[in-house]
């Protein structure tokens, strides 16, 4: 009988190439506030909540703000981000991700999403990959942001798989730390220097072969 594992995927920067849209939206907001916001600064926003991301940017500019001001800026940032997604389709999927999802589905594995994004469901629908997922946990479903493991623990609970039988694909330091905190196998997608805490690291999904995926299932 096939081992049933839970394969949990982050969204931005792992499944879809929308991380750059978040960066552009945050950068525009930062510029309006007179704050320099670089790609290096953006690394600290990966995998964390929208609210925490704004706090990080405000800290860069030593800006104190009321909750009303923060709410407005969060709304403006999200509206700008969503405007980038209007014409989104499967071309936004990162190379190799479809092959990975197909292999896991054909081999009877559970596939879940564990993302801080509050726009996860519409993105999965626009890219036509919603049917691959057995469970979706996004920023609307959790209280604690990564590196807290809540999002991944909820995902494996929804498919009734133990954390130690779960595998997480992440492109952020906070996400890798969350997977490790949950005692799940962590696989970093991206820069090995940044994601060095992950158990395995690949530059992208085109470098993950079926033999490796099979070894995860059989472990």
- b/e burial code for range 167-179 (CB count within 10 A of at least 16 → b): bbbbbbbbbbbbb
Token duo for residue 207: 């470098």
pLDDT at position 2, please? 61
Catalytic one of 12, 71, 87, 148: 12
Q: Give the strands of the sheet with 6-9, arranged side by side.
A: 135-137, 110-114, 6-9, 166-170, 185-189, 200-202
pLDDT band at residue 86 under the 50/70/90 scheme: confident
Task: For residues 49 and 139, give the distance between their C-alpha atoms in angstroms, rounded to a whole number.
Answer: 7
pLDDT at position 124, please? 95
Mean pLDDT of 22-49: 91
Give pLDDT tens digits for 117-169.
888 999 999 999 999 999 999 989 999 989 999 999 999 999 999 999 999 99
Task: Residue 122: name the closest of 154, 97, 86 by CA.
Answer: 86
Residue 10: active-site member: yes
pLDDT at position 116, please? 86
pLDDT at position 203, please? 97
Task: For residues 29 and 70, give the distance between their C-alpha atoms in angstroms, rounded to a whole number.
Answer: 11
Give pLDDT tens digits for 173-197.
999 999 999 999 999 999 999 999 9
Token duo for residue 85: 């997604």
Check whether 172 has a pLDDT greater than 70: yes
Mean pLDDT of 26-43: 94
pLDDT at position 1, please? 46
Catalytic one of 10, 76, 89, 191: 10
Check whether 205 has a pLDDT greater than 80: yes
**Which residue matches tokens 């990080």?**
56
Q: Which domains does the chain have, with CATH numbers?
A: 6-16+93-218 (3.40.50.1000), 19-85 (1.10.150.240)
Cα torsion through 191, 202, 177, 179, rounded to 10: 160
pLDDT band at residue 207 under the 50/70/90 scheme: very high
């Amino acid at each position: 009988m096939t081992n049933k594992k839970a394969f949990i995927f982050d969204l931005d920067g792992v499944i879809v190439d929308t991380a750059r849209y978040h960066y552009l939206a945050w950068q525009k907001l930062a510029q309006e506030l007179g704050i320099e916001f670089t790609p290096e600064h953006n690394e600290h926003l990966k995998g964390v909540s929208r609210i925490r991301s704004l706090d990080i940017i405000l800290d860069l500019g030593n800006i104190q703000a009321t909750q009303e001001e923060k709410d407005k800026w969060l709304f403006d940032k999200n509206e700008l981000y969503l405007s980038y997604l209007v014409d989104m389709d499967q071309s936004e999927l990162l190379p190799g991700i479809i092959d990975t999802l197909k292999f896991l589905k054909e081999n009877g594995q559970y596939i879940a999403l564990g993302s801080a994004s509050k726009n996860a469901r519409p993105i999965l629908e626009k890219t036509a990959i919603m049917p691959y997922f057995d469970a979706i946990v996004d920023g609307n479903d959790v209280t604690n942001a990564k590196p807290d493991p809540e999002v991944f623990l909820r995902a494996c609970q929804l498919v009734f798989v133990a954390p130690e039988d779960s595998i997480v694909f992440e492109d952020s330091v906070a996400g890798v730390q969350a997977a490790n905190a949950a005692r799940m196998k962590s696989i970093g997608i991206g820069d090995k220097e940044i994601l060095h805490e992950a158990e395995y690291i690949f530059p992208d999904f085109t470098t993950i072969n079926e033999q490796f995926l099979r070894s995860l299932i059989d472990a």
